Amino acid sequence: MKLREIFIFCSILFFASSCDNTLVVTAPYENIPTIYGTLNPNSDTQYVRVGKAYLGQDGPNGGLNNPDSLYYSDLIIQLQAFKENGDLFWTKSLNETTDIPKDSGLFTTQGHRLYRIVIPDFTSNEKRLDWSYKILLKTDSNSPSFASAETPMVKEFRIKRPNFQGTQRFSFTSSKGAEIQFYQAVNARIYQGYVDFLYMEMPEGSQMDSTRHSVRYNLPYTIGSSLNGGSYLSNSLSYEAYYTFLSEKIPQAPGNIRFFRGFNVHLSAGSDDLATYISVSQPSNTILQDPPFYSNVENGAGIFASRVSLERPNIGLTSASLDSLIFGKLTCPLRFAKASFLDTLTCN
């Protein structure tokens, strides 16, 4: 056998023996705490979900219906607020609550635990936006924490367009489409929101039987350029994309007519850690199906972050955009209408 062939054979043998493709789906029981919570600076009440990440001898599905594998029976949870100079300002305890029941799903609802803290006058304290917050998990009041996480508070932000002065209208017939512009928030990295389209529907000629409806359009995630606030970001809704969306989401109703009643814009800004957590948790679009793991929980998993929201209601439509809604080819079958001096005008 030639020297080159011997080398190739030995290399193949080496790699074959060194690759272990055995998938271990069971492991010795390990207690891994999970924390999920986003602080809201505009609420005196905060919620946090705490549980266990389970993997034992029964495999990844072994704890689905076992509350002892998912939740702690006795747990002390504390929230601490730190001033800008790092000094501890207060420490408060969270209590179990049933305010928000668990949705149905893979995991049992039995023994589900959610934790709540009510902080009187929290929203009236302007300093709250300048503090950082730390959550601690303890087995008892005298023990050190076995898991913790910390977050700054995302400060309030505002919409640039459409603004809050007078009657504002979306123009889908302009070259830029309907624009939503907002200033970045301090300590925020990720922005997301939705636009609610409001309308009234009634049988033709029977106004007393009218009903109100809404259709929600989710805006894409936007990553901010700075954690210091100031500059603004924007989203735009094009005529083609948005009116096609309406034509697909609103069912045709022969014999009924509809009237446009306005838009409500809702935006949320999330902290830097929340942006990273959402980014790495997205489904993979490559052959590498296992996403990277990210958590800001020390000695645990999950995410503890901050998020703030705002709403701009009562946005109208320009006359040209309303005519496109009523008479345009994309939405004509939906039978939107407008009242004129002598009649109600609709597409068909």
Considering the domain architecture, whether residues 74 and 111 belong to the same structural domain is answered as yes
- Give the chain's residues under pLDDT 50: 1-26
- Interatomic CA distance for residues 293 and 301, integer angstroms: 9
Could you tell me which residues come within 8 angstroms of residue 26 by beta carbon, excluding any fewer than 6 positions away? Answer: 55, 56, 57, 58, 59
Q: Which amino acid is at 268?
A: S
- Interatomic CA distance for residues 238 and 171, integer angstroms: 9
Considering the domain architecture, whether residues 108 and 215 belong to the same structural domain is answered as no
| Three-class DSSP category at 102 | coil
- Interatomic CA distance for residues 68 and 52, integer angstroms: 9
**CA-only gyration radius of the chain, Å:** 27
**The residue to which tokens 């980014």 are assigned:** 279
Per-residue pLDDT at 7: 36
C-beta of residue 306 within 8 angstroms of C-beta of residue 149: no
Considering the domain architecture, whether residues 254 and 222 belong to the same structural domain is answered as yes
Per-residue pLDDT at 208: 81
Considering the domain architecture, whether residues 43 and 181 belong to the same structural domain is answered as no
| Structural domain count of the chain | 2
Each residue's pLDDT tens digit, 113-145: 789 999 999 999 999 999 999 999 999 888 999
C-beta of residue 226 within 8 angstroms of C-beta of residue 239: no
Per-residue pLDDT at 257: 94
The answer as to whether 185 is a domain residue is: yes
Task: Residue 131: give the domain boundaries.
Answer: 32-152
Q: φ and ψ at 312, to 5 degrees?
A: -120, 100
Considering the domain architecture, whether residues 203 and 312 belong to the same structural domain is answered as yes
pTM value?
A: 0.81
The encoded tokens of residue 60 equal: 């990844």
- Interatomic CA distance for residues 174 and 181, integer angstroms: 16
Per-residue pLDDT at 341: 72
Considering the domain architecture, whether residues 243 and 333 belong to the same structural domain is answered as yes
Each residue's pLDDT tens digit, 211-229: 999 999 999 999 999 999 9
The answer as to whether 83 is a domain residue is: yes
Considering the domain architecture, whether residues 165 and 226 belong to the same structural domain is answered as yes
Residue 346 gets the label, from left (phi > 0), alpha (psi -120 to 50) or beta, of beta
- The DSSP secondary structure of 59-103, one letter per residue, reads BTTTTTT-HHHHS-SS-EEEEEEE-TTS-EEEEEE-EEE-SSPPP
The encoded tokens of residue 245 equal: 């969306």
Q: φ and ψ at 249, to 5 degrees?
A: -90, -25
| Three-class DSSP category at 130 | helix
Considering the domain architecture, whether residues 210 and 339 belong to the same structural domain is answered as yes
